[in-house]
Amino acid sequence: MVAVAAVAMAAPAARGGGDTSGSGRLDPPDPFFPRSGNGGYDVTSYDIDLRYDPKRNRFRGGTKTKVEAEVTQPAGLESFHLDYRGPEIQRVRVNGEPAGFTRKGQELIVEPSDLVGFGEELKTKVVYKGKPRQITDPDGSIEGWVRTGDGAFVVGEPRGGPTWFPSNDHPSDKALFEISIEVPKPYKAISNGTLEITKLGNRRLFEWSSDDPMATYLATATVGRFETEKDTDFNPPGPPSYSYVAVDPSFAGDGAIGRGDDIIDHFESDFGPYPFEETGGIVDRAPNVGYALETQTRPIYPVQPDATLVAHELAHQWFGNDITLADWSEIWLNEGFATWAEWWWDEEDGGPSAGETLAAVCDLGPGSSAWSPPPGSVPGPEVMFGDGVYTRAGAALQALRELIGDSDFFDVLAAWAAQDSLGAYTTEDLIALVKTQTGVDDGEIDDHFEDWVFDEGKPDGCSAPKTGRDSLGAALGVPDLAPRR
C-alpha cells in the first residue's frame, strides 16, 4: 500500500485561539484508506435527492445532497472536508448561506461564510450534476456507480459512496439516510429501507427512508427495469415487517431470496432479533461486478443467489451493518461472522455441519489460499477481501466454539450482536467479550486468537490430516461459492 499524504490547508486564525480548519482525515487515520473520513464533525443524517437519466447515465440539474452534522472541533470550524468523487458541483450552502468550496482529489473542502461553533449544527447542501462513475479498488474490483445495460448497480464497499454523494465516508460515522431517486418510466430505483412512490407525469420519484443509522458504504441507489414485489406483513409480529424484492427481468426469478424469512428465523434464535424493520433483496445483472454486497436491509446480487449466499448477506445485517467495525483493517469482524453464519445455515438446511466444514477447512494444505492473509493481520487493502478474511475467519469462530462449548459460544454471539449499534468495534473488543462469557482460561483465549486470527501460516489448532487440496470447494466436494462481501 502506497502511503497517501492527507490534504492540508492552512489553518485560519481562530476566534479565541485553537485550530478552526477541519481535517481531511480521521485521527487516527484509517490504516487502509487514510483519505476516507474527515475530522471536526459528526454526521447525523443524509438527505440525498438524485435526478437520474439512465440512458445518458447523468444526474440532471437539481440533484443535491444535504448533510446534517454536529461540530466536534473544540474551536469550531471555518472550513471542513467532505469525501466526494462525484460530478460537477454547482453550488454549496452551509446553514442556509452560500459557502466557498474547492476540490482536491476526493476531498471537497468547504468554507462557510461564518465560523460554526463547537456543538452547533452544521447543515451543508451540495448541488451537483453530470456523470457519476465507478472506481477501481486496490484489489482490482470495481464499485461505486457501476453502469449496467439498463441503469446502474450501486455498491459502496469500501469507498464507493462518494462517487454519487458527498459524505464522511467511514464506517465509524453512521447516520440516518433518506434517499430519493427520480427516474423516467419504466425504470425503477431501489434503495434501503421503506419506499414511497410519487408520480410525476412520465417520471417517478422513489423515496426511501429508514429509522436506523447506516454506514455510508451500505447505501445504494440502484436503477434498472425491475420486476418488484412488496410485502408489508412479512413476518409478524416482530421485525422485519416490510420486504421489498427487485429482480432484473432477464433473470427467471429471484433465486433463494424468497427463503430469507426462514434464514432470518434461524439466525434470530441465536443472534437475537433481526436489527431492522425492512428486508428483501436486489438481483441486477452486473457481470463486471462479480460479488454480492450486504447493502443495509436489502442486499444486492449481480446473479441469482443460492441460499448460502443469501444467508451470508443476511447475517451481515447483524454482523457488519448493525454492529460495525472501527476501521477497515478489522474487516474480518464482518466477514468472519457472516461466513460462520452461512455454515450454520447450511447445517440447518441439510448440508454439512459447521464442525464438518471446519474439519474440511483444516484438511487443506498449508499452501492453500484459505490461510492467507491471517484475518487479524491483513497487510493492506489489496488483500482485504482475500480468502483468509472469509474462510480462515469463519473457521476461527467455529474453532472457538469447539474450545469454549456451545453454551458460551452462543452467549458470545448474542452479546456481540446486542452491543450499541452506534459503536465501532475491534478485535480486542471481541477478545475481551469472549473472556467475560466463558470460564475458559484467559491465556487459552489469547492463544486461540493468536493461532487462528493473527499468526501467519496454517493454524496449529487444525488437527485434521493434510491432504494438499488447495480449495475449500474441493475439500467439501462442492463448487466454490459465488463471490460475496
Tell me the per-residue pLDDT of 161-202, one tens digit each, with 9 for 90 and over: 999 999 999 999 999 999 999 999 999 999 999 999 999 999
The rounded distance, in Å, linking the Cα atoms of 382 and 331 is 13
Cell, residue 322:
448493525
Please give the DSSP secondary-structure letter assigned to residue 474: H
112-169 tens-digit pLDDT: 999 999 999 999 999 999 999 999 999 999 999 999 999 999 999 999 999 999 999 9
Packing angle of the helix pair 427-437, 442-449 (nearest 10 deg): 150
Query: What is the mean predicted confidence (pLDDT) over 368-396?
Result: 98
Query: What is the mean predicted confidence (pLDDT) over 364-393?
Result: 98
Cell, residue 104:
482536491
Work out the percent of the chain whose per-residue pLDDT is above 90. Answer: 89
Query: What is the mean predicted confidence (pLDDT) over 256-275?
Result: 96
Query: What is the mean predicted confidence (pLDDT) over 446-466?
Result: 88
Is residue 27 within 8 A of residue 43, CB to CB? The reply is no
Confidence of residue 5 (pLDDT cuts 50, 70, 90): very low
Sign of the Cα torsion 172, 173, 175, 179 reads negative
Neighbours of 425 (CB within 10 A): 18
Work out the percent of the chain whose per-residue pLDDT is above 70. Answer: 92
**Would you say residue 8 has pLDDT above 70?**
no
Which of the residue ranges 19-23, 43-47, 169-173 would you say has the lowest mean pLDDT? 19-23
Cell, residue 294:
450486504
**Would you say residue 481 has pLDDT above 80?**
no
The rounded distance, in Å, linking the Cα atoms of 316 and 302 is 17
**Would you say residue 15 has pLDDT above 50?**
no
The rounded distance, in Å, linking the Cα atoms of 343 and 61 is 47
Beta bridge partners of 242: 278
**Would you say residue 345 has pLDDT above 70?**
yes
Whether omega for the bond prior to residue 237 falls within 30 degrees of 0, making it cis, is yes
Q: What is the pLDDT of residue 85?
A: 98
Q: What is the pLDDT of residue 483?
A: 62
Name the percent of the chain in helix, strand, coil, to the closest 5.
25, 25, 45
Residue identified by cell 493468536 is 450
The rounded distance, in Å, linking the Cα atoms of 227 and 248 is 6
Neighbours of 129 (CB within 10 A): 17
- Residues 360-382 as b or e (16 or more Cβ within 10 Å = b): bbbbbeeebebbbbbbbebeebe
For the purposes of burial, counting CB atoms within 10 Å of the CB of 268, is it exposed (0-12), middle (13-18) or buried (19 or more)?
middle
How far is CA 356 from its chain centroid? 29
Cell, residue 462:
487444525
